[in-house]
């Protein structure tokens, strides 16, 4: 009781002494903008911290109101009420973390470091609240007699499970330890991420001799010269250890020593025994995760994590990965032989190294398929590809995207769209933030700044797609590689999953599904990007408007299976490395030894590195993918299987598309996910279409 009074007093004090500033703080008012989009232009650095603090206090008061309710616990006054609370905190967190990953600066990084452990403690405070848990348990125990709808029942079960998994049933001692562990893990992961970004930005391959640019396409040289300018090396050329800068260099540069130097800087990130080294962070995180799993009654972190997924057990995950590891590795060994033969033919007297892979595989690809990325790129302007993605969504799901130049933005170079359904009703807002810049993390992702829901008034989803596409060329056009075309469709698939959502409650809405399901709607969308019939509709030369020639298109389609051994092997190696870290129960002495031994045991060949080495494996040490990197393959099994009916009946077959919309893109987490899949497909997913798709059969 005392605690509650204390919190209440401090909030009143806080409100009265800073009232004026709070009146200016956008997070503390109703957003007075179209569609109640956050007023990005008005949000300043000084608004975040007070909004986080006030948001947390407000949230605790709301929880106290639920627990002190004199009425008996009911679905409405407890479970639904929990969906309603924490609005201020949601508003500030959604904007802050969206911008932290896409448009950060030192102040934001600093605030993230201090606020993350506090948010984590705050979350635990609620999840470990005994009075609250007692109420939830009481509703849960009488669920059979409540005549709940399917979605309501799902909400109740998911709420109950999240409290159990957070340790609500633990003794006080164990609960305290759990809180400490969660806070440490949260800070360590932020630190890990910042170290990787520092290491990535911290290395530049500077070239000052034009001869050393031999082999590189003109466009890459120009980008490198601009990069040099922005880093204060005017007149020189700079390449960075990012995928977007490094891959073209590894693919085309004739300078073997420089390729090796750049690649080494990439794979050594976080492993340079300097202040940004991640090895000790990994050791600490792995030990803490094991301790946490044991507290929760599991053998190891992987068992604990997988208990809450579609896959359920480590055996099932390992089984899936092994099924594809063997044919993938066998194919990769044949690819090595082919490249080694080429090296010999060219008079080279060396063994293919991992940093050589892109260069020689590109030569083989050219000799077999006779086209280069540079030939393809002019047909894939970012603008046209996005229009193509919109067109696919329109044909499949009867939605349209209308550009709105008047909506709030945090940068001038991002774009915003109003999304409408067939009845011209607005169903959501979609933003694209596509251009590479140093303030953005690597990779590509989707973010919801607001989730869809209907239980408390109609909340429109606000969805961001963030990518790292090349800057505009001198004609003002950003040209994409075919891989980037797939990325755009992929993120757009996540976007649709958020935008088409038709859930009642926000916590069951859109992409808030298990990790081994969430990549299914995104990877599914890539299928259309690979169909020649669809590509033709948007692949127009950015200068002449001429459609992509059939011959080139056929080569792209044929090249889809090229290098499949490498791609399968580097991915599955990383997925198995993730599982190795998190099924391990003994103390780690040396991070690199552990990694090397794990990969050697699998039989990984020296010509291929794991797609991520541990010290920059952000998915598992900074993102939410620990014991979950396998999910991309798991969902690919589903996606290949789910696309079969479109292959058989037509790419935009109406009845199939309707079912896909209803049971996949709109249904969020409102029912058991395997049940939804079976409703769409008629049976559980089958692995054969994937093996066939990769050409590994």
Residue 669 Cβ, how far from Zn ion at the closest point, in Å? 17
480 near 470, Cβ under 8 Å? yes
Q: Report the chain's terminal Cα–Cα distance, integer Å.
A: 66
Stretch near Zn ion under the rule CB under 5 A, chosen from 169-177, 212-220, 512-520, 615-623: 512-520
Residue 55 Cβ, how far from Zn ion at the closest point, in Å? 28
Stretch near Zn ion under the rule CB under 5 A, chosen from 60-68, 236-244, 521-529, 616-624: 521-529
101 binds Zn ion (CB under 5 A): no
Residue 348 Cβ, how far from Zn ion at the closest point, in Å? 38
**Cα–Cα distance between 37 and 26 in angstroms, integer?**
11
Stretch near Zn ion under the rule CB under 5 A, chosen from 153-161, 182-190, 191-199, 513-521: 513-521
Residue 620 Cβ, how far from Zn ion at the closest point, in Å? 15
Residue 491 Cβ, how far from Zn ion at the closest point, in Å? 7
286 near 279, Cβ under 8 Å? no
453 binds Zn ion (CB under 5 A): no
Residue 158 parent element (H or E): helix 150-165
* Bridge partners (DSSP) listed for residue 426: 420
Residue 359 Cβ, how far from Zn ion at the closest point, in Å? 28
Stretch near Zn ion under the rule CB under 5 A, chosen from 116-124, 210-218, 269-277, 518-526: 518-526
Give residue for tokens 């997924």: 309
Torsion of CA 690, 691, 692, 695, to 10 degrees: 120
Give residue for tokens 């067939």: 422
Residue 576 Cβ, how far from Zn ion at the closest point, in Å? 20
Give residue for tokens 């994409």: 480
447 binds Zn ion (CB under 5 A): no
Ramachandran region, residue 97 (left: φ > 0; alpha: ψ -120 to 50; beta: rest): alpha
**Cα–Cα distance between 553 and 159 in angstroms, integer?**
49
List, in order, residues 6 or more apart from 503 with CB less than 8 Å away: 151, 452, 453, 454, 509, 510, 667, 668, 669, 670
Choose which of 116, 290, 355, 522 interacts with Zn ion (CB under 5 A).
522
Q: Where are the alpha helices (DSSP H) in 347-408?
A: 357-369, 373-376, 382-397
Residue 635 Cβ, how far from Zn ion at the closest point, in Å? 9
Q: CB nearer to Zn ion: give 57 or 636.
A: 636
Q: CB nearer to Zn ion: give 289 or 515.
A: 515
Stretch near Zn ion under the rule CB under 5 A, chosen from 84-92, 123-131, 520-528, 548-556: 520-528
Task: Tell me the angle at which helices 279-295 and 172-202 cross, rounded to the nearest 10 degrees.
Answer: 160
152 binds Zn ion (CB under 5 A): no
Q: CB nearer to Zn ion: give 522 or 626.
A: 522
Q: CB nearer to Zn ion: give 359 or 665.
A: 665
Stretch near Zn ion under the rule CB under 5 A, chosen from 52-60, 112-120, 414-422, 514-522: 514-522
Q: CB nearer to Zn ion: give 43 or 673.
A: 673
* Bridge partners (DSSP) listed for residue 400: 420
Q: Which residue is nearest to Zn ion (CB)?
A: 522
Stretch near Zn ion under the rule CB under 5 A, chosen from 44-52, 505-513, 522-530, 679-687: 522-530
Q: CB nearer to Zn ion: give 378 or 461.
A: 461
627 binds Zn ion (CB under 5 A): no
Q: CB nearer to Zn ion: give 491 or 609.
A: 491
Buried b (16+ CB within 10 A) or exposed e, 314-334: beebbebbebbbebbbebbbe
Binding-site residue total for Zn ion (CB under 5 A)? Answer: 2
Q: CB nearer to Zn ion: give 186 or 522.
A: 522
Catalytic residues: 491
For 670-678, the CB contacts below 8 A with 24+ separation are 670/150, 670/151, 670/154, 670/503, 670/504, 670/508, 671/150, 671/151, 671/154, 672/154, 673/310, 673/513, 673/514, 673/517, 674/310, 677/638, 677/642
List the structure tokens of 243. 């995928």
Residue 490 Cβ, how far from Zn ion at the closest point, in Å? 6
Q: What are phi and psi of 615, to 5 degrees?
A: -70, -10
Q: CB nearer to Zn ion: give 124 or 519.
A: 519
361 binds Zn ion (CB under 5 A): no
**Cα–Cα distance between 497 and 476 in angstroms, integer?**
31
Q: Which chain residues interact with Zn ion by CB under 5 A?
A: 519, 522
């Amino acid at each position: 009781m005392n605690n509650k009074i204390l919190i209440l007093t401090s909030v009143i004090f806080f409100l009265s002494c800073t009232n004026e500033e709070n009146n200016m703080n956008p997070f503390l008012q109703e957003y007075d903008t179209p569609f109640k989009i956050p007023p990005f232009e008005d949000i300043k650095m000084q608004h975040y911290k007070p909004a986080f603090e006030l948001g947390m206090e407000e949230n605790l008061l709301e929880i106290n109101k639920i627990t002190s309710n004199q009425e008996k616990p009911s679905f409405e006054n407890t479970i639904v009420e929990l969906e309603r609370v924490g609005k201020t905190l949601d508003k500030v967190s959604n904007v802050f973390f969206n911008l932290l990953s896409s448009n950060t600066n030192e102040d934001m990084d600093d605030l993230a470091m201090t606020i993350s452990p506090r948010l984590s403690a705050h979350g635990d405070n609620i999840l470990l609240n005994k009075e609250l848990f007692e109420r939830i348990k009481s509703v849960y125990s009488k669920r059979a007699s409540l005549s709940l709808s399917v979605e309501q029942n799902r909400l109740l079960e998911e709420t109950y499970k999240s409290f159990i998994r957070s340790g609500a049933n633990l003794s006080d001692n164990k609960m305290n330890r759990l809180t400490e562990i969660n806070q440490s893990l949260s800070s360590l992961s932020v630190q890990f991420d910042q170290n990787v970004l520092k290491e990535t930005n911290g290395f530049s391959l500077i070239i000052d001799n034009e001869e050393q640019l031999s082999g590189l396409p003109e466009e890459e040289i120009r980008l490198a010269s601009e990069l040099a300018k922005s880093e204060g090396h005017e007149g020189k050329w700079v390449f960075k250890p990012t995928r977007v800068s490094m891959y073209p260099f590894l693919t085309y540069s004739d300078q073997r020593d420089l390729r090796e130097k750049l690649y080494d800087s990439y794979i050594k990130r976080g492993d340079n025994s300097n202040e940004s080294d991640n090895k000790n962070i990994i050791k600490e995180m792995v030990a803490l995760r094991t301790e946490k799993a044991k507290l929760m009654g599991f053998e190891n972190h992987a068992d604990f994590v997988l208990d809450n997924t579609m896959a359920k057990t480590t055996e099932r995950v390992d089984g899936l990965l092994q099924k594809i590891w063997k044919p993938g590795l066998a194919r990769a060994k044949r690819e090595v032989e082919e490249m080694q033969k080429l090296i010999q033919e060219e008079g080279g007297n060396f063994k293919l190294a991992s940093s050589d892979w892109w260069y020689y595989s590109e030569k083989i690809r050219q000799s077999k398929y006779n086209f280069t990325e540079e030939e393809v790129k002019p047909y894939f302007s970012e603008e046209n590809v996005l229009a193509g993605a919109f067109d696919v969504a329109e044909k499949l799901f009867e939605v349209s995207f209308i550009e709105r130049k008047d909506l709030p933005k945090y940068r001038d170079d991002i774009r915003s769209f109003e999304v409408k359904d067939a009845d011209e009703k607005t169903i959501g807002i979609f933003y694209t933030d596509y251009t590479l810049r140093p303030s953005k993390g690597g990779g590509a992702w989707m973010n919801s700044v607001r989730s869809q829901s209907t239980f408390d008034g109609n909340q429109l989803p606000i969805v961001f797609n963030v990518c790292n596409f090349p800057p505009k060329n001198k004609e003002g056009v950003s040209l994409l590689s075919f891989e980037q075309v797939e990325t755009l469709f992929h993120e757009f698939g996540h976007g649709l999953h958020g935008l088409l959502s038709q859930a009642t409650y926000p916590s069951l809405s859109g992409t808030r599904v298990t990790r081994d399901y969430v990549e299914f709607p995104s990877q599914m969308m890539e299928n259309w990007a690979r169909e020649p019939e669809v590509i033709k509709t948007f692949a127009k030369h950015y200068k002449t408007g001429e459609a992509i020639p059939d011959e080139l298109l056929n080569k792209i389609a044929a090249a889809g299976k090229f290098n499949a051994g490498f791609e399968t092997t580097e991915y599955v190696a990383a997925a198995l490395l993730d599982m190795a870290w998190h099924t391990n129960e003994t103390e780690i002495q040396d991070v690199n030894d552990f990694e090397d031994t794990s990969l050697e045991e699998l039989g990984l060949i020296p010509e291929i590195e794991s797609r991520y080495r541990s010290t920059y494996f952000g998915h598992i040490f900074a993102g939410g993918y620990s014991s979950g990197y396998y999910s991309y393959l798991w969902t690919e099994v589903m996606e290949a299987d789910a696309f079969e009916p479109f292959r058989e009946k037509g790419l935009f077959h109406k009845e199939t598309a309707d079912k896909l919309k209803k049971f996949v893109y709109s249904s969020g987490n409102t029912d058991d996910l395997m049940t939804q899949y079976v409703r769409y497909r008629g049976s559980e997913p089958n692995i054969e279409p994937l093996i066939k798709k990769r050409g590994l059969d």
